[in-house]
Amino acid sequence: MAESLVKELVEAGVHFGHRASLWNPKMAPYIYARKKQIHIIDLRETLRGLLRAKKYLSQVAAGGSLVLFVGTKRQAAATAEREAMRCGMPFVAERWLGGALTNFRTVRSRLGRLEELEALRESDRIAEYSKKMQSALNREYRKMYRNLNGLRTMNRLPECVVVVDPRKERNAVREAHRLGITTVALIDTDCDPDTVDLPIPGNDDGIRSIEVILRQLADSVLRGKAEAAVEAKQEVVAPVASDQQQVETPAADPAPPASEGKPPASEGGQSD
């Protein structure tokens, strides 16, 4: 399995880093070599970080906690949205709203306004407003939908935040650290690995590279959910089986009592 995964990472170009002149010296342990002024990332470190992150995400999903996918850069937006929806987790793919985590209560209240606008658009009541007001309401709806649609399922703070390029998503990483939320990030050679908890060194600019990494992480979330469902089913079946064992078995028919005294006389009567 590891060999096939390494082959997939190579084909996706995960090992290609930034130009050597743009590197962060803290990424030195994750760099294998430099070729034509381009840093080559050590795929052993990529695989090690990916497996560690997959194991952690599987445990988080098995515990019933949320994982927030964040990827607002053009190369990552569509993939982050698709993989998050596939594993049933919230996402931010358009723009990170300041305070999405630290001011979570206010963000949830704005989701109520989004649902109110949706109900208004689906009904005939919007026709009661003037054309100028309808245009303003539609514009407000499009803006709120673009920024908040991915957070609909986030009814509580997440346990983990998956980030593509922590330099681009520094506000999200900063808020997660302030609240003690674990961060998993795909980091390139121009990033600071100390800003995230579980770094995955790799190309964070290539679309195929981002797709491979996020797909692997989403599969781990689905695996954790499946394990949790199996455990819950076993917990339900176990009490039922124990109750059936405790049901009393019907008592056997009692043996007829032995007759007292002499045996009864024969039908022919007593002999002379």
Percent of the chain residues past pLDDT 90, beyond the cut:
61
pLDDT tens per residue across span 57-82: 999 999 999 999 999 999 999 999 99
Whether residue 242 is predicted with pLDDT greater than 90 in this model: the reply is: no
pLDDT at 271: 43
In angstroms, rounded to a whole number, what is the distance separating the alpha carbons of residues 84 and 217? 10
CATH numbers and ranges of domains, the chain: 2-101+157-230 (3.40.50.10490), 103-153 (1.10.287)
The helix (H) or strand (E) run that includes residue 249 is none
Q: How many CB atoms lie within 10 A of CB 265?
A: 8
Predicted pLDDT at 109: 87
What is the rounded average pLDDT of the residues 25-47? 92
**C-alpha dist (Å) from residue 97 to 110, 147, 198, 255, 256:** 12, 7, 23, 82, 85
Considering the chain, what is the average pLDDT of its residues?
87
User: Contact 217/5 with Cβ under 8 angstroms?
Assistant: no
Q: What is the pLDDT of residues 122-181, one digit of tens each?
A: 887 888 889 999 899 999 999 999 989 999 889 899 999 999 999 999 999 999 999 999
Instruction: List % helix, strand, coil for the chain (3-state, nearest 5).
Output: 55, 10, 35
